[in-house]
Chains A and B, each alone.
Chain A
Protein backbone atom coordinates (compact mmCIF):
# COMPACT_ATOMS: atom_id res chain seq x y z
CA UNK A 1 0.00 0.00 0.00
CA UNK A 2 1.43 3.40 -1.05
CA UNK A 3 1.44 6.06 1.63
CA UNK A 4 2.17 9.80 1.57
CA UNK A 5 4.54 10.56 4.42
CA UNK A 6 6.11 13.85 5.45
CA UNK A 7 9.61 13.20 6.78
CA UNK A 8 10.02 14.85 10.18
CA UNK A 9 13.57 13.78 10.87
CA UNK A 10 14.86 17.25 10.10
CA UNK A 11 13.17 20.59 9.45
CA UNK A 12 13.35 20.19 5.64
CA UNK A 13 10.13 18.19 5.91
CA UNK A 14 10.47 16.29 2.62
CA UNK A 15 7.20 14.91 1.21
CA UNK A 16 7.71 11.28 0.39
CA UNK A 17 5.76 8.45 -1.10
CA UNK A 18 6.55 5.14 0.54
CA UNK A 19 5.56 1.55 0.03
CA UNK A 20 6.79 -1.72 1.48
CA UNK A 21 7.25 -4.07 -1.47
CA UNK A 22 8.25 -7.76 -1.36
CA UNK A 23 11.73 -6.78 -2.61
CA UNK A 24 12.14 -4.10 0.09
CA UNK A 25 10.88 -0.60 0.76
CA UNK A 26 10.31 1.84 -2.12
CA UNK A 27 10.65 5.48 -1.08
CA UNK A 28 10.65 8.55 -3.32
CA UNK A 29 10.79 12.27 -2.55
CA UNK A 30 13.40 12.03 0.22
CA UNK A 31 16.50 14.23 0.14
CA UNK A 32 18.71 11.97 2.22
CA UNK A 33 19.06 8.42 3.54
CA UNK A 34 17.37 9.23 6.86
CA UNK A 35 14.13 9.81 5.00
CA UNK A 36 14.05 6.17 3.89
CA UNK A 37 14.62 4.91 7.42
CA UNK A 38 11.91 7.20 8.71
CA UNK A 39 9.39 6.11 6.08
CA UNK A 40 9.98 2.45 6.82
CA UNK A 41 9.63 3.03 10.57
CA UNK A 42 6.48 5.08 10.04
CA UNK A 43 4.90 2.25 8.04
CA UNK A 44 5.90 -0.46 10.51
CA UNK A 45 6.50 0.92 14.04
CA UNK A 46 6.35 4.73 14.39
CA UNK A 47 8.62 6.26 17.03
CA UNK A 48 9.27 9.75 18.39
CA UNK A 49 12.00 11.42 20.40
CA UNK A 50 10.31 12.98 23.42
CA UNK A 51 11.62 16.12 25.08
CA UNK A 52 10.41 17.56 28.37
CA UNK A 53 11.66 18.79 31.71
CA UNK A 54 12.32 17.04 35.03
CA UNK A 55 12.14 18.66 38.44
CA UNK A 56 15.37 19.23 40.36
CA UNK A 57 15.22 18.13 43.99
CA UNK A 58 16.63 21.47 45.14
CA UNK A 59 14.11 23.49 43.10
CA UNK A 60 13.95 24.45 39.44
CA UNK A 61 14.00 22.04 36.53
CA UNK A 62 16.25 20.73 33.80
CA UNK A 63 15.38 19.86 30.19
CA UNK A 64 15.64 16.21 29.14
CA UNK A 65 15.10 13.94 26.13
CA UNK A 66 14.83 10.27 25.35
CA UNK A 67 18.26 9.08 24.21
CA UNK A 68 16.57 7.14 21.40
CA UNK A 69 13.06 7.58 19.99
CA UNK A 70 10.37 5.59 21.79
CA UNK A 71 7.20 3.97 20.44
CA UNK A 72 4.71 6.71 19.57
CA UNK A 73 1.92 5.12 21.62
CA UNK A 74 4.08 5.23 24.78
CA UNK A 75 4.53 9.02 24.80
CA UNK A 76 1.87 9.73 27.42
CA UNK A 77 3.00 6.85 29.65
CA UNK A 78 6.48 8.37 29.56
CA UNK A 79 5.11 11.83 30.42
CA UNK A 80 3.43 10.37 33.52
CA UNK A 81 6.77 8.97 34.66
CA UNK A 82 8.62 12.23 33.97
CA UNK A 83 6.07 14.22 35.94
CA UNK A 84 7.05 12.48 39.17
CA UNK A 85 10.77 12.06 38.44
CA UNK A 86 13.40 14.26 40.06
CA UNK A 87 17.09 14.83 39.43
CA UNK A 88 19.83 16.12 41.71
CA UNK A 89 21.90 19.14 40.71
CA UNK A 90 24.49 19.62 39.40
CA UNK A 91 23.46 18.16 36.08
CA UNK A 92 25.54 18.23 32.90
CA UNK A 93 24.42 17.73 29.31
CA UNK A 94 24.18 14.01 28.58
CA UNK A 95 23.84 12.92 32.24
CA UNK A 96 21.48 9.99 32.67
CA UNK A 97 18.37 11.02 34.61
CA UNK A 98 16.39 7.75 34.34
CA UNK A 99 17.55 4.47 32.92
CA UNK A 100 15.71 1.88 30.90
CA UNK A 101 12.31 3.42 30.30
CA UNK A 102 10.51 2.06 27.23
CA UNK A 103 13.79 0.69 25.97
CA UNK A 104 15.89 3.83 26.28
CA UNK A 105 17.28 6.31 28.82
CA UNK A 106 16.26 9.81 29.77
CA UNK A 107 19.24 12.16 29.51
CA UNK A 108 19.69 15.83 30.42
CA UNK A 109 19.91 18.34 27.55
CA UNK A 110 21.08 21.33 29.59
CA UNK A 111 23.36 22.18 32.47
CA UNK A 112 21.80 22.91 35.83
CA UNK A 113 23.20 23.88 39.18
CA UNK A 114 26.80 24.76 40.00
CA UNK A 115 29.59 23.32 37.88
CA UNK A 116 31.14 20.42 39.76
Chain B
Protein backbone atom coordinates (compact mmCIF):
# COMPACT_ATOMS: atom_id res chain seq x y z
CA UNK B 1 0.00 0.00 0.00
CA UNK B 2 1.47 3.36 -0.96
CA UNK B 3 -0.29 6.64 -0.32
CA UNK B 4 0.68 10.13 -1.38
CA UNK B 5 0.29 13.20 0.82
CA UNK B 6 1.50 16.78 0.60
CA UNK B 7 2.89 16.93 4.13
CA UNK B 8 3.63 14.08 6.53
CA UNK B 9 4.48 14.97 10.13
CA UNK B 10 6.28 12.39 12.27
CA UNK B 11 5.22 12.83 15.90
CA UNK B 12 1.93 14.18 17.26
CA UNK B 13 3.23 16.05 20.32
CA UNK B 14 2.82 19.81 20.67
CA UNK B 15 5.38 20.33 17.88
CA UNK B 16 3.68 18.02 15.39
CA UNK B 17 0.21 19.38 16.11
CA UNK B 18 1.22 23.05 15.84
CA UNK B 19 3.13 22.35 12.62
CA UNK B 20 0.10 20.60 11.15
CA UNK B 21 -2.25 23.46 11.98
CA UNK B 22 0.16 26.08 10.61
CA UNK B 23 0.73 24.17 7.36
CA UNK B 24 -3.02 23.79 6.90
CA UNK B 25 -3.62 27.48 7.55
CA UNK B 26 -0.88 28.31 5.03
CA UNK B 27 -3.03 26.61 2.40
CA UNK B 28 -1.75 23.03 2.24
CA UNK B 29 -4.65 20.97 3.55
CA UNK B 30 -3.44 17.46 2.73
CA UNK B 31 -1.55 17.00 6.00
CA UNK B 32 -1.12 13.72 7.91
CA UNK B 33 0.26 13.42 11.44
CA UNK B 34 1.66 10.06 12.59
CA UNK B 35 2.11 9.16 16.28
CA UNK B 36 2.92 5.88 17.97
CA UNK B 37 0.83 6.62 21.10
CA UNK B 38 -2.92 6.04 21.41
CA UNK B 39 -3.62 9.78 21.57
CA UNK B 40 -1.83 12.91 20.36
CA UNK B 41 -0.18 15.32 22.82
CA UNK B 42 3.26 13.79 23.27
CA UNK B 43 5.02 14.20 26.58
CA UNK B 44 2.51 16.86 27.68
CA UNK B 45 -0.03 14.15 28.42
CA UNK B 46 1.97 13.18 31.50
CA UNK B 47 2.97 16.74 32.50
CA UNK B 48 -0.08 17.39 34.68
CA UNK B 49 1.55 20.38 36.39
CA UNK B 50 0.70 23.89 35.28
CA UNK B 51 2.87 26.57 33.73
CA UNK B 52 2.29 25.95 30.05
CA UNK B 53 1.11 28.52 27.57
CA UNK B 54 1.44 31.81 29.40
CA UNK B 55 3.52 33.35 26.65
CA UNK B 56 1.86 31.76 23.66
CA UNK B 57 -1.78 31.62 24.74
CA UNK B 58 -1.83 34.20 27.52
CA UNK B 59 -3.29 31.66 29.95
CA UNK B 60 -1.65 29.32 32.37
CA UNK B 61 -2.53 25.74 31.52
CA UNK B 62 -1.49 22.25 32.56
CA UNK B 63 0.27 20.03 30.01
CA UNK B 64 -2.83 18.02 28.98
CA UNK B 65 -4.84 21.23 28.61
CA UNK B 66 -2.18 22.84 26.42
CA UNK B 67 -2.01 19.74 24.22
CA UNK B 68 -5.81 19.68 23.98
CA UNK B 69 -5.88 23.24 22.62
CA UNK B 70 -3.78 22.16 19.63
CA UNK B 71 -5.43 18.76 19.25
CA UNK B 72 -8.77 20.56 19.01
CA UNK B 73 -7.44 23.00 16.40
CA UNK B 74 -6.16 20.07 14.35
CA UNK B 75 -9.48 18.23 14.68
CA UNK B 76 -11.45 21.34 13.70
CA UNK B 77 -9.51 21.44 10.42
CA UNK B 78 -10.09 17.74 9.84
CA UNK B 79 -6.35 17.00 9.91
CA UNK B 80 -5.80 13.25 9.85
CA UNK B 81 -3.91 11.81 12.82
CA UNK B 82 -2.75 8.21 12.51
CA UNK B 83 -2.54 6.86 16.08
CA UNK B 84 -0.67 3.82 17.36
CA UNK B 85 1.39 4.01 14.22
CA UNK B 86 5.16 3.92 14.45
CA UNK B 87 7.33 5.38 11.74
CA UNK B 88 10.15 2.90 11.16
CA UNK B 89 12.02 4.50 8.29
CA UNK B 90 12.40 7.69 6.34
CA UNK B 91 14.22 7.94 3.01
CA UNK B 92 16.00 11.04 1.69
CA UNK B 93 13.45 11.23 -1.12
CA UNK B 94 10.71 11.51 1.53
CA UNK B 95 9.15 8.07 1.55
CA UNK B 96 7.84 7.42 5.06
CA UNK B 97 7.47 3.81 6.20
CA UNK B 98 5.24 3.16 9.22
CA UNK B 99 3.65 0.18 10.89
CA UNK B 100 0.42 -0.18 12.80
CA UNK B 101 -1.99 -2.98 13.67
CA UNK B 102 -3.20 -2.88 10.07
CA UNK B 103 0.30 -3.60 8.79
CA UNK B 104 2.96 -1.71 6.93
CA UNK B 105 2.17 1.64 5.39
CA UNK B 106 4.24 3.59 2.88
CA UNK B 107 3.62 7.25 2.17
CA UNK B 108 5.27 9.40 -0.47
CA UNK B 109 5.39 12.86 1.06
CA UNK B 110 5.68 16.20 -0.68
CA UNK B 111 7.40 17.45 2.48
CA UNK B 112 8.21 15.82 5.82
CA UNK B 113 8.31 17.49 9.23
CA UNK B 114 10.30 15.74 11.95
CA UNK B 115 8.62 16.21 15.36
CA UNK B 116 9.65 13.07 17.25
CA UNK B 117 10.59 14.80 20.52
CA UNK B 118 13.27 13.32 22.74
CA UNK B 119 13.87 10.57 25.26
CA UNK B 120 15.60 10.50 28.60
CA UNK B 121 19.18 9.54 29.21
CA UNK B 122 19.07 6.14 30.95
CA UNK B 123 21.03 4.70 33.86
CA UNK B 124 23.14 2.66 31.46
CA UNK B 125 24.16 5.80 29.63
CA UNK B 126 25.24 7.31 32.95
CA UNK B 127 27.39 4.46 34.20
CA UNK B 128 26.66 4.42 37.94
CA UNK B 129 28.39 1.58 39.76
CA UNK B 130 26.79 -0.79 42.25
CA UNK B 131 24.07 -3.42 42.29
CA UNK B 132 21.04 -3.63 40.03
CA UNK B 133 18.01 -3.52 42.33
CA UNK B 134 14.45 -2.44 41.52
CA UNK B 135 13.49 1.12 42.37
CA UNK B 136 15.57 3.05 39.85
CA UNK B 137 13.55 4.99 37.31
CA UNK B 138 14.11 7.76 34.86
CA UNK B 139 12.17 10.76 36.16
CA UNK B 140 9.90 10.81 33.12
CA UNK B 141 9.04 7.13 33.53
CA UNK B 142 8.13 7.77 37.17
CA UNK B 143 6.05 10.72 36.01
CA UNK B 144 4.12 8.53 33.59
CA UNK B 145 3.63 5.78 36.17
CA UNK B 146 2.29 8.19 38.80
CA UNK B 147 0.29 10.57 36.61
CA UNK B 148 -1.04 8.29 33.90
CA UNK B 149 -0.94 4.74 35.24
CA UNK B 150 -1.76 5.55 38.86
CA UNK B 151 1.22 3.69 40.39
CA UNK B 152 3.25 5.27 43.16
CA UNK B 153 6.90 4.41 42.60
CA UNK B 154 8.29 4.59 46.15
CA UNK B 155 8.30 6.08 49.63
CA UNK B 156 11.74 7.58 50.10
CA UNK B 157 13.52 9.00 47.13
CA UNK B 158 16.75 10.59 45.97
CA UNK B 159 16.73 12.41 42.66
CA UNK B 160 19.87 12.65 40.55
CA UNK B 161 19.83 15.61 38.20
CA UNK B 162 18.20 18.97 38.74
CA UNK B 163 16.70 19.33 35.28
CA UNK B 164 13.06 20.35 35.15
CA UNK B 165 11.66 16.84 35.12
CA UNK B 166 13.62 15.98 38.28
CA UNK B 167 12.40 19.11 40.04
CA UNK B 168 8.79 18.58 38.99
CA UNK B 169 8.97 14.99 40.22
CA UNK B 170 10.46 16.04 43.57
CA UNK B 171 7.30 18.03 44.20
CA UNK B 172 4.98 15.40 42.75
CA UNK B 173 6.46 12.63 44.93
CA UNK B 174 6.25 14.88 48.00
CA UNK B 175 2.60 15.71 47.33
CA UNK B 176 1.82 12.02 46.99
CA UNK B 177 3.26 11.37 50.43
CA UNK B 178 6.81 10.28 49.67
CA UNK B 179 9.84 11.79 51.37
CA UNK B 180 12.31 13.25 48.91
CA UNK B 181 15.64 13.19 50.74
CA UNK B 182 17.64 15.23 48.26
CA UNK B 183 18.11 16.36 44.70
CA UNK B 184 21.76 16.02 43.60
CA UNK B 185 23.31 17.88 40.71
CA UNK B 186 26.70 17.10 39.22
CA UNK B 187 27.19 20.65 37.97
CA UNK B 188 27.76 23.64 40.29
CA UNK B 189 24.40 25.08 39.13
CA UNK B 190 20.94 23.68 38.49
CA UNK B 191 19.89 22.75 34.97
CA UNK B 192 16.26 23.58 35.66
CA UNK B 193 14.19 26.74 35.46
CA UNK B 194 14.52 29.03 38.48
CA UNK B 195 10.79 28.92 38.89
CA UNK B 196 10.90 25.16 39.35
CA UNK B 197 13.65 25.40 41.98
CA UNK B 198 11.45 27.80 43.93
CA UNK B 199 8.11 26.06 43.69
CA UNK B 200 9.27 22.45 43.63
CA UNK B 201 12.17 22.44 46.11
CA UNK B 202 12.13 25.59 48.27
CA UNK B 203 8.37 25.38 48.86
CA UNK B 204 8.85 21.91 50.37
CA UNK B 205 12.28 22.34 52.00
CA UNK B 206 13.87 19.71 49.77
CA UNK B 207 17.66 20.14 49.79
CA UNK B 208 19.53 20.64 46.51
CA UNK B 209 23.15 19.44 46.64
CA UNK B 210 25.19 20.99 43.85
CA UNK B 211 28.49 19.49 42.60
CA UNK B 212 27.28 16.14 43.94
CA UNK B 213 26.59 12.82 42.29
CA UNK B 214 25.64 9.25 43.12
CA UNK B 215 28.78 7.15 43.57
CA UNK B 216 27.18 3.84 44.36
CA UNK B 217 23.86 2.06 44.41
CA UNK B 218 23.04 -0.36 47.26
CA UNK B 219 20.43 -3.09 47.69
CA UNK B 220 19.69 -6.52 46.25
CA UNK B 221 16.01 -6.89 45.46
CA UNK B 222 14.89 -3.34 46.07
CA UNK B 223 17.07 -0.26 46.31
CA UNK B 224 18.17 0.30 49.93
CA UNK B 225 20.28 3.41 49.61
CA UNK B 226 22.79 5.39 47.62
CA UNK B 227 26.23 6.80 48.36
CA UNK B 228 26.56 10.43 47.40
CA UNK B 229 29.91 12.03 46.67
CA UNK B 230 31.00 15.61 46.04
CA UNK B 231 32.88 16.44 42.85
CA UNK B 232 35.53 19.06 42.11
CA UNK B 233 35.41 21.67 39.37
CA UNK B 234 36.49 19.05 36.83
CA UNK B 235 33.60 16.83 37.91
CA UNK B 236 35.99 14.34 39.52
CA UNK B 237 34.80 12.69 42.76
CA UNK B 238 36.51 14.01 45.92
CA UNK B 239 37.56 11.06 48.14
CA UNK B 240 36.36 11.34 51.71
CA UNK B 241 33.15 13.19 50.85
CA UNK B 242 31.05 10.04 50.52
CA UNK B 243 27.82 9.93 52.51
CA UNK B 244 25.07 7.33 52.59
CA UNK B 245 21.38 8.11 52.22
CA UNK B 246 18.80 5.38 52.76
CA UNK B 247 16.10 5.35 50.08
CA UNK B 248 13.96 2.92 48.13
CA UNK B 249 13.76 4.98 44.97
CA UNK B 250 16.28 6.76 42.74
CA UNK B 251 15.02 8.97 39.96
CA UNK B 252 17.38 9.94 37.17
CA UNK B 253 16.80 13.27 35.51
CA UNK B 254 20.01 13.65 33.60
CA UNK B 255 19.10 15.16 30.33
CA UNK B 256 17.16 14.44 27.20
CA UNK B 257 18.39 13.08 23.91
CA UNK B 258 16.58 14.05 20.69
CA UNK B 259 15.15 10.95 18.99
CA UNK B 260 16.95 11.22 15.69
CA UNK B 261 17.33 7.59 14.62
CA UNK B 262 14.96 8.21 11.68
CA UNK B 263 16.87 11.34 10.70
CA UNK B 264 20.19 9.46 10.73
CA UNK B 265 18.63 6.73 8.62
CA UNK B 266 17.68 9.35 6.05
CA UNK B 267 21.23 10.71 6.08
CA UNK B 268 20.30 14.06 7.65
CA UNK B 269 23.39 15.75 9.13
CA UNK B 270 23.06 16.48 12.86
CA UNK B 271 24.63 19.14 15.10
CA UNK B 272 27.10 17.56 17.52
CA UNK B 273 25.93 19.79 20.36
CA UNK B 274 22.15 20.00 20.02
CA UNK B 275 21.84 16.39 18.86
CA UNK B 276 19.26 17.66 16.38
CA UNK B 277 19.41 18.39 12.66
CA UNK B 278 21.35 21.31 11.18
CA UNK B 279 18.66 23.68 9.92
CA UNK B 280 18.19 27.02 8.22
CA UNK B 281 15.93 29.84 9.44
CA UNK B 282 12.89 28.05 7.98
CA UNK B 283 13.81 24.88 9.92
CA UNK B 284 14.69 22.97 6.76
CA UNK B 285 17.35 20.30 7.34
CA UNK B 286 20.17 19.80 4.88
CA UNK B 287 17.94 17.45 2.90
CA UNK B 288 15.46 19.45 0.80
CA UNK B 289 11.85 19.09 1.82
CA UNK B 290 12.58 17.64 5.26
CA UNK B 291 11.98 20.05 8.13
CA UNK B 292 12.40 19.67 11.90
CA UNK B 293 10.94 21.34 14.99
CA UNK B 294 10.41 20.90 18.72
CA UNK B 295 12.51 18.75 21.02
CA UNK B 296 13.81 16.57 18.20
CA UNK B 297 15.60 19.65 16.89
CA UNK B 298 16.76 21.22 20.16
CA UNK B 299 15.67 20.45 23.71
CA UNK B 300 13.35 23.28 24.70
CA UNK B 301 12.38 24.22 28.22
CA UNK B 302 9.21 26.06 27.25
CA UNK B 303 6.55 24.40 25.19
CA UNK B 304 5.49 27.89 24.03
CA UNK B 305 8.70 28.13 22.01
CA UNK B 306 8.12 24.60 20.72
CA UNK B 307 4.81 25.76 19.28
CA UNK B 308 6.39 28.87 17.72
CA UNK B 309 9.14 26.84 16.13
CA UNK B 310 6.67 24.23 14.87
CA UNK B 311 4.44 26.84 13.28
CA UNK B 312 7.47 28.19 11.44
CA UNK B 313 8.37 24.68 10.23
CA UNK B 314 4.74 24.08 9.20
CA UNK B 315 4.60 27.27 7.11
CA UNK B 316 7.98 26.52 5.55
CA UNK B 317 6.92 23.00 4.58
CA UNK B 318 3.78 24.46 2.99
CA UNK B 319 5.97 26.87 0.99
CA UNK B 320 8.14 23.98 -0.16
CA UNK B 321 5.11 22.01 -1.36
CA UNK B 322 3.97 25.05 -3.34
CA UNK B 323 7.41 25.52 -4.88
CA UNK B 324 8.36 28.67 -2.98
CA UNK B 325 12.05 28.61 -2.17
CA UNK B 326 14.20 30.94 -0.08
CA UNK B 327 16.21 33.75 -1.65
CA UNK B 328 19.88 34.60 -1.40
CA UNK B 329 22.97 32.69 -0.42
CA UNK B 330 23.22 30.97 2.95
CA UNK B 331 25.18 32.57 5.76
CA UNK B 332 26.66 30.23 8.36
CA UNK B 333 25.92 30.98 12.02
CA UNK B 334 28.60 30.27 14.64
CA UNK B 335 28.32 30.11 18.41
CA UNK B 336 31.35 31.79 19.97
CA UNK B 337 32.61 32.91 23.40
CA UNK B 338 30.20 31.88 26.12
CA UNK B 339 27.52 30.51 23.77
CA UNK B 340 27.19 26.73 23.61
CA UNK B 341 25.12 26.48 20.50
CA UNK B 342 23.04 28.68 18.27
CA UNK B 343 20.12 27.67 16.08
CA UNK B 344 19.44 27.94 13.13
CA UNK B 345 22.95 27.05 12.00
CA UNK B 346 22.53 28.84 8.67
CA UNK B 347 20.40 31.71 7.39
CA UNK B 348 19.39 32.79 3.89
CA UNK B 349 20.60 36.31 3.23
CA UNK B 350 17.30 37.11 1.52
CA UNK B 351 15.11 36.15 4.50
CA UNK B 352 12.12 38.49 4.36
CA UNK B 353 10.93 38.14 7.96
CA UNK B 354 12.96 38.79 11.14
CA UNK B 355 15.07 35.76 12.08
CA UNK B 356 15.16 34.62 15.69
CA UNK B 357 18.41 33.01 16.83
CA UNK B 358 17.90 30.60 19.73
CA UNK B 359 20.84 29.71 21.95
CA UNK B 360 22.05 28.29 25.22
CA UNK B 361 24.89 29.83 27.14
CA UNK B 362 27.81 27.74 28.39
CA UNK B 363 27.74 28.93 32.02
CA UNK B 364 25.58 31.03 34.31
CA UNK B 365 26.63 34.71 34.04
CA UNK B 366 25.37 38.06 35.25
CA UNK B 367 25.13 41.42 33.48
CA UNK B 368 25.97 40.35 29.95
CA UNK B 369 24.92 41.16 26.44
CA UNK B 370 24.30 38.76 23.61
CA UNK B 371 25.83 40.11 20.41
CA UNK B 372 25.41 38.90 16.82
CA UNK B 373 28.15 40.15 14.50
CA UNK B 374 29.17 39.82 10.91
CA UNK B 375 32.84 40.70 10.83
CA UNK B 376 33.06 43.96 12.78
CA UNK B 377 29.45 44.94 12.15
CA UNK B 378 26.94 44.41 14.96
CA UNK B 379 23.73 42.92 13.57
CA UNK B 380 21.82 42.81 16.85
CA UNK B 381 22.42 42.87 20.58
CA UNK B 382 20.39 42.46 23.76
CA UNK B 383 21.44 42.81 27.37
CA UNK B 384 20.50 40.39 30.13
CA UNK B 385 20.76 40.76 33.87
CA UNK B 386 21.35 37.06 34.23
CA UNK B 387 21.72 34.08 31.89
CA UNK B 388 21.91 30.36 32.66
CA UNK B 389 22.34 27.20 30.58
CA UNK B 390 18.94 25.98 31.78
CA UNK B 391 17.14 28.91 30.18
CA UNK B 392 17.14 29.29 26.43
CA UNK B 393 17.92 32.76 25.11
CA UNK B 394 17.01 34.38 21.83
CA UNK B 395 18.00 37.40 19.78
CA UNK B 396 16.22 38.76 16.72
CA UNK B 397 17.92 39.74 13.45
CA UNK B 398 15.98 42.20 11.28
CA UNK B 399 15.96 41.41 7.53
CA UNK B 400 17.90 44.58 6.67
CA UNK B 401 20.64 43.58 9.12
CA UNK B 402 21.27 40.48 7.01
CA UNK B 403 21.83 42.55 3.88
CA UNK B 404 25.52 42.34 2.96
CA UNK B 405 26.34 40.12 5.94
CA UNK B 406 28.78 37.24 5.54
CA UNK B 407 29.10 34.71 8.34
CA UNK B 408 27.28 35.44 11.58
CA UNK B 409 28.96 35.01 14.99
CA UNK B 410 27.05 35.09 18.25
CA UNK B 411 28.88 35.69 21.52
CA UNK B 412 28.33 36.67 25.13
CA UNK B 413 30.08 39.79 26.38
CA UNK B 414 30.27 41.66 29.66
CA UNK B 415 28.04 44.70 29.88
| A77 to B385 CA separation, bound complex (whole angstroms) | 39
Taking a contact as CB atoms under 8 Å apart, the answer to whether A11 and B195 are in contact is yes
Taking a contact as CB atoms under 8 Å apart, the answer to whether B386 and A53 are in contact is no
- B37 proximal to A (CB < 8 A): no
> Which residues of B are found within 8 Å of A6, using beta-carbon distances?
194-195, 197-198
Interface residues of B in 66-125 (CB under 8 A from A): 68
Chain A 6-17 against B: per-residue CB contact (8 Å), 1 yes, 0 no? 111111110100
Taking a contact as CB atoms under 8 Å apart, the answer to whether B48 and A63 are in contact is yes
> Which residues of B are found within 8 Å of A60, using beta-carbon distances?
150
Q: How far is the CB of A3 from chain B (nearest CB, A)?
A: 13
* Selected interface stretch from B54-62, B252-260, B353-361: B54-62
Identify A110's interface contact among B68, B193, B385, CB under 8 A: B68
Q: How far is the CB of A33 from chain B (nearest CB, A)?
A: 12
Number of interface residues of A (CB under 8 A): 30
A53 and B150 in contact (CB under 8 A), knowing A7-B195, A48-B199, A109-B64? Answer: yes
- B222 proximal to A (CB < 8 A): no
Q: Which residue of B55, B65, B177 has the most chain A CB atoms within 10 A of its CB atom?
A: B65
Identify A53's interface contact among B48, B193, B199, B203, CB under 8 A: B48
Number of interface residues of B (CB under 8 A): 32
- B301 proximal to A (CB < 8 A): yes
- B29 proximal to A (CB < 8 A): no
A51 and B50 in contact (CB under 8 A), knowing A6-B198, A13-B194, A15-B194? Answer: yes
- B391 proximal to A (CB < 8 A): yes
Residue of B with least CB distance to A79: B175
- B332 proximal to A (CB < 8 A): no
> Which residues of A are found within 8 Å of B195, using beta-carbon distances?
6-8, 10-13
Q: Is the interface of B mostly helix, strand, loop or mixed?
A: mixed
Identify B64's interface contact among A7, A11, A29, A110, CB under 8 A: A110
Identify A11's interface contact among B48, B147, B301, CB under 8 A: B301
- B51 proximal to A (CB < 8 A): yes
Taking a contact as CB atoms under 8 Å apart, the answer to whether A65 and B50 are in contact is yes
Q: How far is the CB of B155 from chain A (nearest CB, A)?
A: 15
Q: How far is the CB of B302 from chain A (nearest CB, A)?
A: 5
A13 and B198 in contact (CB under 8 A), knowing A53-B147, A110-B64? Answer: yes
Taking a contact as CB atoms under 8 Å apart, the answer to whether A75 and B60 are in contact is no
- A86 proximal to B (CB < 8 A): no
- B176 proximal to A (CB < 8 A): yes
Interface residues of A in 91-113 (CB under 8 A from B): 93, 109-111
Interface residues of A in 41-78 (CB under 8 A from B): 48-53, 55, 60-61, 63, 65, 72, 75-76
Taking a contact as CB atoms under 8 Å apart, the answer to whether B65 and A61 are in contact is no
Taking a contact as CB atoms under 8 Å apart, the answer to whether B64 and A93 are in contact is yes
| A72 to B147 CA separation, bound complex (whole angstroms) | 22
| A11 to B164 CA separation, bound complex (whole angstroms) | 11
> Which residues of A are found within 8 Å of B302, using beta-carbon distances?
11
Q: Which residues of B contact A (CB under 8 A)?
A: 45, 48-51, 54-55, 60-62, 64-65, 68, 146-148, 150, 175-177, 193-195, 197-199, 203, 301-302, 385-386, 391
Given A13-B193, A109-B64; 7 other pairs, CB 8 A cutoff: A53-B147, A63-B62, A63-B64, A65-B50, A79-B175, A110-B45, A110-B65
